[in-house]
Chains A and B, each alone.
Chain A
């Protein structure tokens, strides 16, 4: 052997060497753990669920093929339709509120301030712990008939609200809890705000624009790709709301908070109509895909892409 350094990869000597050291092979080997996990824990269960959605599987007895009758029965089920309506109502209410909060706080955080990093971590904290059962239980106590919120309302002289006993009021604690977890959206907005070139602001100031005009004519259009991203992410995650409704209201007074995922759980796990629940999950996939596709299609009209102009 020569004393000079041989290249680290000796490719080409034998067919096995050529195969093993080929860039593609190496790439696949490193990606293999993820691919195996994806197959085992995502794709295969999804396909199995598609199969079960056409049967009357109830986890104990043998399953029988029933074709599309689960899907047809879904649309005849008044509880399902109410659940879809309630979920849509929740999405329409909670996503704008959450994004508005996130944008507002992100805006405040871009002000020069000595403690900016402290505030940023502080405001991110709720989204770390917010989705947990413990916080949901605390929320349940806060909004109980004799909870802190009602006590303070009484002190202010406002009549107390029966949060979880009234069908119209029951959704607000849950929406509030979701809005409270605005941390991740806020960080992305903050990053987006930082990217707006200050030359735009300087030019606007020279032209004599006031604060509002600057916000609507410069900040919002430049932020629109970021808004689009956050909108899609929050839409998708808000359709899957489960923990809050399950822990706090269990479906709410008279199904007022019987969100889609909670109803799937009720049918599939509690009443063991697993085939029916699987059909419901696939319908949810279709609805969410449709809404996401609509948002993407209409984005051409309101998302300002700097690279295009």
Chain B
């Protein structure tokens, strides 16, 4: 009996020691090593901090968590930059989590609910929804932790909220465009699109190419962006889906949405555009139908054009999306493609801010990133990259400059979308599918979308 009790006691003490010694890393090893008898660990941490005391300050080891969405190209490049930063700042460890777009926002939603958002996270124009979780960068800019001397006010403003608070640092500017394969156009004997082409031209081109070559005229479009958001802006300089301070809609005639929906349904019917089942097969830009030669053109964000061309392995050209009228507004502008933000749940906001500043403004980091998220907003970085641009990258820069030169009627650009943005986008896609499957007319669907969006305010 006594032996058994002694054995049990020894085992439980050993288990306790094991749990305590394993627990904690980074800043908490100091407290753990106090209580455990793992004196060797405590002695090495003391000697390590003693040796680094020779540098200006004793740096506590810091662990940051980071997440972003993107393609494999983006993941590889971002990880390389993270490793570079860790080399330059040995006291910082960054645990990263790359994901796809939908998975990222689903995870973010759950983390917001549990108050555990990553220290550094990527954010787009939907940042007002997550405003309560974003640590504003104004103080860091004021005290110099983030050095903004290398960028302009305009570029800072596209990552700021309506009150002018700096919400994040822009990772790059981009815009939308249509990538097309000039070879396929030549084969089908169809003229290439020009700057002033209209949605009617687009429809005719799709039908012609499908008739002559049997492939899709066009691959998957971002229907919401093309038909809803930019579509309304193309009606005139005063129109936009939402008004300039996101308190209501920016248009009153629901029929402005109907034409696009009808055209989309007609094209799917004719087989010139992939149906929703086929669209589902595309999970990433590198699997787009234009890459496999099954389509002649596709919707693309300018910063993804390089990845698309590399995947396609042949020359592709970039042009702006079709307009509603040949001389009407283009509907697209230069925008912040996305930005990096610091979260309110972070225990080391200053370290996170330092990393973000490095990410956006360091020339070495950006030589790895190569503008995959968009054209850099820091002038020195732009110039450093401009020396080594490949032909494809030059096309992207030229295209972004072209869009920048379009007339926007003097309207200031609103970088944010309202909180109901996600729900409205979802309803738009839902009603568009109903039109495609002939359960609703385009008119009814347009009215339903308009009513739903209006009811959100």
Pick the contact of B437: A144, A249, A253, A274 (CB < 8 A). Answer: A253
A163 touches B277 (CB 8 A): yes
B277 touches A272 (CB 8 A): no
Q: Check if B132 is an interface residue, CB within 8 A of chain A.
A: yes
Pick the contact of A254: B112, B422, B426, B439 (CB < 8 A). Answer: B439
* Given A59-B109, A60-B130, A253-B437, A162:B426 Cβ within 8 A: no
CB distance from A52 to the nearest CB of B (A): 11
A56 CA / B280 CA spacing, docked (Å): 32
Q: Which 6 A-B pairs have the closest CB atoms?
A: A165-B277, A164-B277, A59-B113, A165-B275, A254-B433, A254-B437
A162 touches B106 (CB 8 A): no
Q: Check if B276 is an interface residue, CB within 8 A of chain A.
A: yes
A285 CA / B364 CA spacing, docked (Å): 56
CB distance from A252 to the nearest CB of B (A): 8
CB distance from A154 to the nearest CB of B (A): 16
B437 touches A167 (CB 8 A): yes
Q: Check if B436 is an interface residue, CB within 8 A of chain A.
A: yes
Name B's interface SS.
helix
A254 touches B106 (CB 8 A): no
Pick the contact of B278: A145, A249, A266 (CB < 8 A). Answer: A145
Query: Which residues from A are CB-within-8-Å of B25?
Result: none
Q: Check if B457 is an interface residue, CB within 8 A of chain A.
A: no
A270 touches B422 (CB 8 A): yes
A269 CA / B281 CA spacing, docked (Å): 23
* Given A253-B433, A254-B434, A269-B106, A170:B112 Cβ within 8 A: no
Query: Which residues from B are CB-within-8-Å of A274?
Result: 113
A272 CA / B126 CA spacing, docked (Å): 14
Pick the contact of B280: A79, A164, A271 (CB < 8 A). Answer: A164
Query: Which residues from B are CB-within-8-Å of A250?
Result: 280
A-B contact pairs, 7 of them (CB 8 A): A145-B277, A166-B277, A254-B276, A255-B430, A269-B106, A270-B426, A272-B422
CB distance from A127 to the nearest CB of B (A): 26
* Given A60-B132, A271-B422, A253:B109 Cβ within 8 A: no
Query: Which residues from B are CB-within-8-Å of A165?
Result: 275-278
A61 CA / B430 CA spacing, docked (Å): 26
B contacts with A, residue count (CB < 8 A): 26
Other 7 A-B pairs with CB < 8 A, given A145-B277, A162-B275, A272-B422 = A60-B132, A79-B430, A162-B277, A165-B276, A254-B434, A255-B430, A269-B106
List B residues 385-434 near A (Cβ within 8 Å). 422-423, 426, 430, 433-434
Chain B residue nearest to A250 in the complex (CB):
B280
CB distance from A296 to the nearest CB of B (A): 37
CB distance from B428 to the nearest CB of A (A): 13
Q: Check if B110 is an interface residue, CB within 8 A of chain A.
A: yes
Query: Which residues from B are CB-within-8-Å of A162?
Result: 275, 277
Tell me how many residue pairs across A and B have CB atoms closer than 8 Å: 65
A contacts with B, residue count (CB < 8 A): 26
Interface bits B102-125 vs A (CB < 8 Å: 1, else 0): 100110011011000000000000
Q: Check if B31 is an interface residue, CB within 8 A of chain A.
A: no
CB distance from A81 to the nearest CB of B (A): 14
A249 CA / B129 CA spacing, docked (Å): 28
A274 CA / B281 CA spacing, docked (Å): 29
A170 touches B277 (CB 8 A): yes
Instruction: Give the most central of A61, A163, A272: most B CB within 10 Å.
Output: A272
B275 touches A253 (CB 8 A): yes
Residues of B whose CB lies within 8 Å of any CB of A are 102, 105-106, 109-110, 112-113, 129-130, 132-133, 275-278, 280-281, 422-423, 426, 430, 433-434, 436-437, 439
CB distance from A271 to the nearest CB of B (A): 5
A144 touches B281 (CB 8 A): yes
List A residues 143-175 near B (Cβ within 8 Å). 144-145, 162-167, 170
B106 touches A60 (CB 8 A): no
* Given A249-B280, A253-B275, A253-B277, A59:B423 Cβ within 8 A: no
A273 CA / B422 CA spacing, docked (Å): 11
Query: Which residues from A are CB-within-8-Å of B133?
Result: 60
Instruction: Give the most central of B275, B277, B422: most A CB within 10 Å.
Output: B277
A25 CA / B133 CA spacing, docked (Å): 47
A170 CA / B280 CA spacing, docked (Å): 12
Interface bits A225-262 vs B (CB < 8 Å: 1, else 0): 00000000000000000000000011001110000000
List A residues 264-294 near B (Cβ within 8 Å). 266, 269-274
CB distance from A182 to the nearest CB of B (A): 27
Query: Which residues from A are CB-within-8-Å of B132?
Result: 60-61
List A residues 65-111 near B (Cβ within 8 Å). 79
Query: Which residues from A are CB-within-8-Å of B423?
Result: 271, 273
B112 touches A60 (CB 8 A): yes
Chain B residue nearest to A57 in the complex (CB):
B113
Pick the contact of B109: A144, A255, A266, A272 (CB < 8 A). Answer: A272
CB distance from A21 to the nearest CB of B (A): 16
* Given A60-B130, A60-B132, A163-B277, A270:B437 Cβ within 8 A: no
A162 CA / B133 CA spacing, docked (Å): 44
A60 CA / B110 CA spacing, docked (Å): 10
CB distance from B111 to the nearest CB of A (A): 10
Chain B residue nearest to A164 in the complex (CB):
B277
Chain B residue nearest to A59 in the complex (CB):
B113
A170 CA / B275 CA spacing, docked (Å): 13
Query: Which residues from A are CB-within-8-Å of B109?
Result: 59, 269-270, 272
A24 CA / B351 CA spacing, docked (Å): 56
Query: Which residues from B are CB-within-8-Å of A163?
Result: 277
CB distance from A53 to the nearest CB of B (A): 16
A59 CA / B109 CA spacing, docked (Å): 7
CB distance from B92 to the nearest CB of A (A): 29
Pick the contact of A271: B275, B426, B439 (CB < 8 A). Answer: B426
Chain B residue nearest to A61 in the complex (CB):
B132
CB distance from A166 to the nearest CB of B (A): 7
Pick the contact of B436: A60, A144, A254, A270 (CB < 8 A). Answer: A254
List A residues 36-63 near B (Cβ within 8 Å). 59-61
Query: Which residues from B are CB-within-8-Å of A249?
Result: 277, 280
Instruction: Give the most central of B129, B132, B281, B436: most A CB within 10 Å.
Output: B281
